[in-house]
A and B are shown apart, each in its own frame.
Chain A
Amino acid sequence: MPTIEIEGRVFEVDGDGFLTQPDIWNKEVATLIGRYDGIEEMTDKHWAVVNIIRENFEEKGMAPMIRVICKKTGLKLREIYELFPLGPARGACRVAGLPKPDGCV
């Protein structure tokens, strides 16, 4: 199983670097993955996006539509793309500790 080591902590991940055990996720893990992706500091806006993705995952087992993220955070679409350089799927979902979404992402 591939692993990713950040700040001396080792996590089991899939080949794309998504956590294979989403249960181990917490805010510290999110901060670490964010830093790994080049997000120097998680701002309130980052957390708003990540928390909504996480809630949706825990409730429905999948990432929410970008529509839901925008609606619930009040952020503009383009703002979300800017907050997460790798985009909502490879970026935000990974920070939120989700498995990689299916499809062309």
Chain B
Amino acid sequence: MVEARGLKEPKVRIIMLRGRMEPQINYFLMEKVSKEKIEAGLEVLQALKDSKLITQLNSCVHCGLCADTCLYYLTTGDERLIPARKVDIVASIYKRYCTFTGKIAPKLVNARDLDDETIREMVDLLYGACTMCGRCVKHCSIGVDIEYVIRAGREMLARMDYVPASLQATVNSALESGNNMAISDEDFLDTIEWMEEEMQDELDDTNASIPINQPGKDVLYTLNPREPKFFPLSIAAMAKVFHAAGESWTLSTNMYDVTNYAYFSGNPDHGRVIAQRMFDEMSKMEAKKLVLAECGHGIRANRWEGPNYIGEKFPETITSVELIADYIKGGRIKTDKNKTEAIVTLHDPCNLVRSGGIVNEQRYILNHTVKNFVEMTPHGTDNFCCGGGGGQLAMSEYNERRLKIAEIKAEQIRKTGAKIVATPCHNCVDQLSQINVTYKLNVQIKTIAEIVADALVF
């Protein structure tokens, strides 16, 4: 059929952006910004209670060290994309509206009006050219929390209703349906049942189960909705690990979504609604602890930011990576590292590792589950982002940039000679899978649970 249509020699050409790395036109920016919107945006800077933000906005000494830490600058050489420039744009608005000199002689202190041009540039730099990986923060000569400023800038834009449409769609989906892929309860339960059957067949054990909606268990487990929707093998893998450990656990139909995309959009009201749901579900299910699935930002948005969103302490909240490491240490599960002989490397999700403090657990696990584990360079808290963080994976608007900045991760993986890349983050899994095809790496991408499930000895 293909030949009959004369398609034997495909001529494929893609024209995504006009010119290299030029910002795309956001259609919602065509309207002139209203006075009300400007006021809503400025509230973030004028709320004097946030002294941390004001300090960060006044501290950059423009030493330039952050330039060489950032994927965007390293892969494009575009000076506009240097992290300090992203801090600058927020600081320039602060100066214009919140400082004496900025108010009377803005040009003197490089203060800028919050007008259409500034907003357009903010959207492009803060949403479109930052994965919120925080690598620049680690290398900043005076310790400016650049990522914190990016978040404040995104919050301003969110309050003014300038969140890129594709990112907002994911937030809306979560707000409206209870999970970010709008999966119905019926579909969810059907998939869980399917994975339970697969696991029972594989283990030849009808007692292996995926408990649903059972209150009073030790562990309330969570998922990234992409697991039930498109990639459910990781659910069966984690269920196998729980089964091997004899864990008392459950999933909840009502709230299993570990993500909180409002952390990326910057809208704190949306973030609060989603965080509150997780908190309420914990109380309702009377579980001893909440175990967060392999999801970098989800771990951050629940464990570290959850209490900030809702103004209340979360009950015991840990990651599945920590839990699995404990199972191995305590002898609750047995693993045979010789089952996987291929070279395995590890990608560190920024929100879990650099910003979350979980560095050694995933290494401990790999050292007990695969025979040949090799590190990337650099790794751990100095890792490079995969390029899909900060909501980039959801934002079609900046797809070309996202794949361009992934050059660095592709090269890091290639140099390890690995055949398998393990990573404890579903978002990273998806970006790495795309990198794998784009940069022809010919590797397999796996979650930690999948690696562990393969190594289990019963």
Q: Residues of A at under 8 Å CB distance from B?
A: 2-8, 14-18, 28, 31-32, 35-36, 38, 40-42, 62-63, 65-68, 70, 77, 85-90, 100-105
In the assembled complex, B407 has its CB within 8 A of some CB on chain A: no
Q: Which residue of A lies closest to B433 (CB)?
A: A87
Q: Is the CB of A77 within 8 A of B7?
A: no
Please indicate the chain B residues that have their CB under 8 angstroms from the CB of A6 in the complex: 10-13
Please indicate the chain A residues that have their CB under 8 angstroms from the CB of B232 in the complex: 66-67, 77
Q: Is the CB of B396 within 8 A of A105?
A: no
CB of A103 to closest CB in B, whole Å: 5
Some 8 contacts from A to B, beta carbons below 8 A apart, are A6-B10, A16-B396, A65-B228, A66-B232, A67-B194, A86-B433, A102-B173, A102-B182
Please indicate the chain A residues that have their CB under 8 angstroms from the CB of B225 in the complex: 103-104
Contact partner of A5 among B1, B13, B170, CB < 8 A?
B13
Please indicate the chain A residues that have their CB under 8 angstroms from the CB of B437 in the complex: 38, 85-86
In the assembled complex, B414 has its CB within 8 A of some CB on chain A: no
Contact partner of A2 among B15, B187, B434, CB < 8 A?
B15
CB of A42 to closest CB in B, whole Å: 8
Please indicate the chain B residues that have their CB under 8 angstroms from the CB of A101 in the complex: 181, 229
Q: Which residue of B lies closest to A92 (CB)?
A: B230
Interface segment out of the listed B144-152, B299-307, B397-405, B447-455: B397-405
Q: Is the CB of A90 within 8 A of B15?
A: no
Please indicate the chain B residues that have their CB under 8 angstroms from the CB of A41 in the complex: 1-2
Contact partner of B226 among A3, A67, A103, CB < 8 A?
A103
Please indicate the chain A residues that have their CB under 8 angstroms from the CB of B166 in the complex: 14, 100, 102
In the assembled complex, B108 has its CB within 8 A of some CB on chain A: no
Interface set, chain B 1-22, CB cutoff 8 A to A: 1-2, 5, 7, 10-17
Most B-side CB within 10 Å, residue of A3, A62, A103: A103
Q: Mark B10-44, 1 if CB is under 8 A from A, else 0.
A: 11111111000000100000000000000000000
Q: Is the CB of A62 within 8 A of B259?
A: no
CB of B13 to closest CB in A, whole Å: 5
Q: Mark B170-190, 1 if CB is under 8 A from A, else 0.
A: 100100000011110001001
In the assembled complex, B121 has its CB within 8 A of some CB on chain A: no
Q: Is the CB of B394 within 8 A of A103?
A: yes
Contact partner of B182 among A17, A32, A62, CB < 8 A?
A62
Cα distance A70–B397 when bound, in Å? Answer: 31
Given contacts A2-B16, A103-B181, contact A67 B434 (CB under 8 A): no
